Structure 1
């Protein structure tokens, strides 16, 4: 199957049905989805730009009159530059497919099969939904792997439409249901939305985004509310974790064995084993062979409802959200605090982006300095403690913005704005720098280099290998960070695959957990963000090693580090700590970064971040000793959050993930 020549497509379009959708990023149009449908064939053109990046993709889907999938073809460029080139055919009962990550051939394949591409447009999801709705039981076997099913959750009537649309949930594509909206009169795609981000909507109905998002969020939250009523194990009265080694995060050492007592959601006492004979606990948890840690703090999250349980299952009991819809995040935070849904404790940074053709859409995208200062006023009035500035902030704004924020008691950090270096940002008053690539760019950017584009990823890959970390320029920069007390949120896991993974190879960040994930998700992690030949792989791999060494040197110099992900919640946090140890940071220090530092630099150290009498009982019980072997951080036997315990096994199973260890028993 091949794409037709442009002239033929143009002629066919005159007799084919064409439909256009608008891609909306936050509140602004940022791209398109164009469908041209003729007998048995759907041609798709999908493209958008947000934050200076996005895909350019074309698809062809061929279907039989009975809905059987006869062919699929897609070409283009993915968000970070990887080539999209994938196809599937079903001929005479033989299914064949090839993609950048795999290829296969299955004789005797039935016409009931559907094909799951590595990267597909919303149009593919819409056509998959139509197929499933025609199948018995509304489910199908998928190629190359998996089972998918669909369920309608609710309907509503869009303003100005002569039909209703339904919200449908597709199971089997990810760790959580995948949602989309279909017309009820034809089951044609109406919209696919991502609450808090935007969506793809039928042209003319862009104003319905908020309404659809609200309805979809309600459906997601209803599912989470059901789980919140069944998964937690209340810890009434007094609970003791007996004979456990526990991590003193301030000193970064293991102590004990001790009995750790919990009462009314707080740490009540730490005593030698059996030392409190008259305590009479209502619950007992064995700590033998286990290590008790303070709850982990992810300092670089972009939280949504789908991330809540995955964080908790991985021991992340608190997050700092560094960029989100302010209203959506406030609503989610309120639901967590009221106990309506399970989730980590949330602190938020105030996100501000400058207006440009490359802007990341957000609540505040000022075009003038007075507007930027007014945004800071809003965040200060609403209780925020730190700002995150982004790529399109104008360099000349940084110093007055930082000064204004500081006068109101707010810290400032984030990305280094385009046409500025990290050193200049720190000299202008930045309290914190985000992302290892942003720090690496300090030594690489030249006048006129526009890091609002993919250059901010590609330049470190191409050139970081040439950085001399022992030279005066590098040492002076590290000394400046030390002198100013600049916090670094390196998010190493977010870049590990970018600089080291080749197409078809397991993700280096998730290979160690992949066997426990659903098969469809396992396949997705064979897809690299960028294409590499041997020369590029060698070059970018060398650059990655320089970035890892820079991380080690910053820690050795005493620069405060915090652990953040900006990637798959939970699992990426665990990998972040492993990468710190690989870089040469002792495991005990990595654990301090993940607990004490996270609480300190999100202004929550009075409540969380260490195992101390009177602090919240946000705790993680780990099989083994992560100080001796950081990989033990993945063997979580129990999570305690306030007055309740959570079984990681049960949390994982609710997402289709096979548990890693047996959960600790609570005896009463």
Structure 2
């Protein structure tokens, strides 16, 4: 690693060189507010410098990069410094001389012998890294390149469109899909010609980043990208969702009773057109079933709920592969979410059923930029009306919401039949938000800030994470204020969405495996597993680490205290879909719940606090057939909930193994239960061509349905 030690000095020596060209990209949020930029300076001595920063929701990365390219168009020297989204120190370097590549960061170091072109993948980097890959891939015969430290990057063109700049210039740009990094494709718009480079990035529901002067092209590019992406998603849905036509019987299933948190005797579950028509003792005579699935004594769970998601078009595959059939979306771009709801209903999207919560934020320099960002009570009521008219059962209020109009807004949402939850607006304690009418609080840090803030405490920036990490270690849970607060939550039945797995980042040091992903890292693609060891918080030294570890352990313990006091707990993630929910359930067990109680939280409570108990949350006649077959016994060992063998939802049979293979994930189970199709035609059973008998049978079936 000796060469890496001198790399920053070698690059710094080039700072006297002049910029041969500069490209500036603007990062514009969905509400048209500029939230950041990327500036790329290409110097006349071959060095490239990049400044990349944005701020949304009071946080964001701030990075400075510099690199050189070799004759093959990929980096031979690279360095990046700055801070990650949550403030962790970024200091990463890479170099390659001949066939020897070396890299080091605050969380890892390594070296590798490699031949031919290879693209280094930084743990924290700007979009200019993608620009390098776009150019390099354009000169490979099969549009594939080796990745460092491991993996293969692939690229294909999906579309072309001519765009016009603010001063009338025209050019043709191409939509590219890259795979091999992460768990879903990445989409980039690139220039045309022999030396293509990044033109822009459209991030639906969040922001776009385009070259300065070309912002007017964003709507056109977004529409074309959506069309191309939808076709890819429709192809995935058609391949991985297997329709269950006619009557299906799931035989010999040990059903988890989510009301009693127990497992019943072996049963047969009858499913027709996406609903459960009967649950009978195992071995009961089957009458002309079209499909039979032998559960072979497996535990069968009602579909799991994730009550804190921010869905996108690709996350649904992860939910389906992990048994999550229903999610509550806790804040999204409204137009994007409405489109996804339509696509899911039409079967064109591999996705869970989504219960939307309307997002409501106030204007400030710290604002999140999705949902509605309002100025006054009139705007807040108009936003509530928009959500209520579209059937949103819940409203989520965010950090910058004006506290002066909180009580009136909550009352108005209640008058429209909506529950209200959220973060605690700046300047208030959790108790004051509850007094204003909150029905639920998101995140364990927002709960415990109740005892840590003053009216002038800023909680819209990273302080809302740092303050609990610093102070909860010393919080006395036996003190009168804490006990009174817990008693109030229980008396009022205020539900709590703690997202403990997400907040494990508070005590993760660079280079250590993030606790919620220790059980799944070995199954993940190498680049994904590598990211699980990247620290998020800025932690200075062992003493601070121990303090943060103590604070986090007490946060987990406090969830158990609330549960035992009768406070309703729900299971949400706010992180990687699917897998994080399993980790949240494991942390509920760590907090003191039994595995069966944790499963009850993710099934019965999920339905209760999305107001869908009439059709979800348990396996019973008349309810939706959201059914999860698992190996092992998660009521005894919660880690067995990861062993999902098959999922039935919305009239489809889904095999996690097939999704895993598509995403490069090592499967969590061996053999999966297969469908046996009936070989006896219904007409033959009732006498061949007897039309009158057939009509009576069909009429009877319609009546039962």
> Is it true that 1:125 corresponds to 2:130 in the alignment?
yes
Query: Once structures 1 and 2 are overlaid, which stretch shifts more, 175-184 or 658-667?
Result: 658-667
CA distance in 1, matches of 2:48, 2:217: 25
Q: 1:381 to 1:92 in 2, by over 3 A?
A: closer
What whole-Å deviation, never above 9, does each CA across 1:258-289 have from its counterpart, x for those lacking one?
111112221111111222x2523222222224
Aligned to 1:526: 533
Structure 1 residues without counterparts, runs of 5 or longer: none
CA distance in 1, matches of 2:298, 2:72: 57
Query: Once structures 1 and 2 are overlaid, which stretch shifts more, 441-450 or 609-618?
Result: 441-450
Aligned to 2:199: 190
CA distance in 2, matches of 1:8, 1:98: 22
CA distance in 1, matches of 2:218, 2:261: 48
User: In the alignment, is the contact (CA less than 8 A) between 1:68 and 1:111 conserved in 2?
Assistant: no
Give the match's secondary structure for 1:151: strand
User: In the alignment, is the contact (CA less than 8 A) between 1:503 and 1:531 conserved in 2?
Assistant: no
Give the match's secondary structure for 1:569: coil
What whole-Å deviation, never above 9, does each CA across 1:334-375 have from its counterpart, x for those lacking one?
111011222111111110100000000124111222222221
Aligned to 1:516: 523
CA distance in 1, matches of 2:101, 2:616: 54
1:593 Cα deviation after fit: 1.0
**Aligned pairs (5 A) from 1:436-455:** 436-455=444-463
CA distance in 2, matches of 1:380, 1:245: 39
1:382 Cα deviation after fit: 2.5
Aligned to 2:681: none
1:104 Cα deviation after fit: 1.6
Aligned to 2:326: 318
> Is it true that 1:466 corresponds to 2:464 in the alignment?
no
User: In the alignment, is the contact (CA less than 8 A) between 1:289 and 1:624 conserved in 2?
Assistant: no
CA distance in 1, matches of 2:394, 2:326: 16
**Aligned pairs (5 A) from 1:555-634:** 555-634=563-642
Give the match's secondary structure for 1:481: helix
> Is it true that 1:21 corresponds to 2:29 in the alignment?
no
TM-score (norm 2): 0.92
Aligned to 2:88: 82
CA distance in 1, matches of 2:92, 2:11: 19
Give the match's secondary structure for 1:376: helix
**Aligned pairs (5 A) from 1:246-285:** 246-275=255-284, 277-285=285-293
CA distance in 1, matches of 2:322, 2:450: 33
1:572 Cα deviation after fit: 0.4
Aligned to 1:637: 645
CA distance in 2, matches of 1:667, 1:477: 55
> Is it true that 1:112 corresponds to 2:141 in the alignment?
no
1:4 Cα deviation after fit: 8.2
> Is it true that 1:201 corresponds to 2:206 in the alignment?
no
CA distance in 2, matches of 1:287, 1:631: 20
Aligned to 1:232: 241
> Is it true that 1:664 corresponds to 2:669 in the alignment?
no
CA distance in 2, matches of 1:580, 1:12: 56
Aligned to 1:346: 354
User: In the alignment, is the contact (CA less than 8 A) between 2:251 and 2:296 conserved in 1?
Assistant: yes
Give the match's secondary structure for 1:549: helix
1:215 Cα deviation after fit: 2.2
CA distance in 2, matches of 1:38, 1:502: 36
> Is it true that 1:148 corresponds to 2:180 in the alignment?
no
Aligned to 1:410: 418
1:5 Cα deviation after fit: 9.5
> Is it true that 1:62 corresponds to 2:71 in the alignment?
no
1:230 Cα deviation after fit: 1.9
**Paired residues, what number?**
663
Runs of 4+ in 1 over 6 A off after TM superposition: 3-8
What whole-Å deviation, never above 9, does each CA across 1:292-324 have from its counterpart, x for those lacking one?
111011111100011011111110111111100
What whole-Å deviation, never above 9, does each CA across 1:574-593 have from its counterpart, x for those lacking one?
11111101111111111111
Aligned to 1:135: 140
Aligned to 1:31: 36
Aligned to 1:499: 506
Aligned mate of 1:397, from 390, 405, 415: 405
CA distance in 2, matches of 1:484, 1:3: 61
1:613 Cα deviation after fit: 0.5
1:246 Cα deviation after fit: 0.4
User: In the alignment, is the contact (CA less than 8 A) between 2:358 and 2:371 conserved in 1?
Assistant: no
CA distance in 2, matches of 1:589, 1:64: 58
What whole-Å deviation, never above 9, does each CA across 1:556-612 have from its counterpart, x for those lacking one?
111111111100000001111111011111111111110111111112111111111
Q: 1:110 to 1:7 in 2, by over 3 A?
A: closer
Give the match's secondary structure for 1:157: strand
Structure 2 residues without counterparts, runs of 5 or longer: 1-6, 678-705
Give the match's secondary structure for 2:142: helix
CA distance in 1, matches of 2:352, 2:418: 23
User: In the alignment, is the contact (CA less than 8 A) between 2:498 and 2:570 conserved in 1?
Assistant: yes
What whole-Å deviation, never above 9, does each CA across 1:471-525 have from its counterpart, x for those lacking one?
11111101111122111111111111x1232211222111211111111111111
Aligned mate of 1:177, from 165, 176, 185: 185
Give the match's secondary structure for 1:60: strand
User: In the alignment, is the contact (CA less than 8 A) between 1:289 and 1:623 conserved in 2?
Assistant: no
1:111 Cα deviation after fit: 4.5
1:218 Cα deviation after fit: 2.3
CA distance in 2, matches of 1:214, 1:450: 39
1:247 Cα deviation after fit: 0.9
Query: Once structures 1 and 2 are overlaid, which stretch shifts more, 399-408 or 453-462?
Result: 399-408
Give the match's secondary structure for 2:58: coil
CA distance in 1, matches of 2:217, 2:592: 51
User: In the alignment, is the contact (CA less than 8 A) between 2:646 and 2:673 conserved in 1?
Assistant: yes
Q: 1:537 to 1:612 in 2, by over 3 A?
A: same
CA distance in 1, matches of 2:283, 2:154: 53
Give the match's secondary structure for 1:305: coil
Q: Select the structure of larger CA radius of gyration.
A: 2
User: In the alignment, is the contact (CA less than 8 A) between 1:336 and 1:343 conserved in 2?
Assistant: yes
User: In the alignment, is the contact (CA less than 8 A) between 2:14 and 2:47 conserved in 1?
Assistant: no
> Is it true that 1:101 corresponds to 2:107 in the alignment?
yes
1:92 Cα deviation after fit: 3.9
CA distance in 2, matches of 1:65, 1:246: 62
User: In the alignment, is the contact (CA less than 8 A) between 1:148 and 1:173 conserved in 2?
Assistant: yes
CA distance in 2, matches of 1:6, 1:388: 47
User: In the alignment, is the contact (CA less than 8 A) between 1:195 and 1:214 conserved in 2?
Assistant: no
RMSD of aligned C-alpha atoms?
1.6
CA distance in 2, matches of 1:424, 1:590: 29
Query: Once structures 1 and 2 are overlaid, which stretch shifts more, 600-609 or 72-81?
Result: 600-609
Aligned to 2:680: none
User: In the alignment, is the contact (CA less than 8 A) between 2:72 and 2:136 conserved in 1?
Assistant: no
1:206 Cα deviation after fit: 2.1
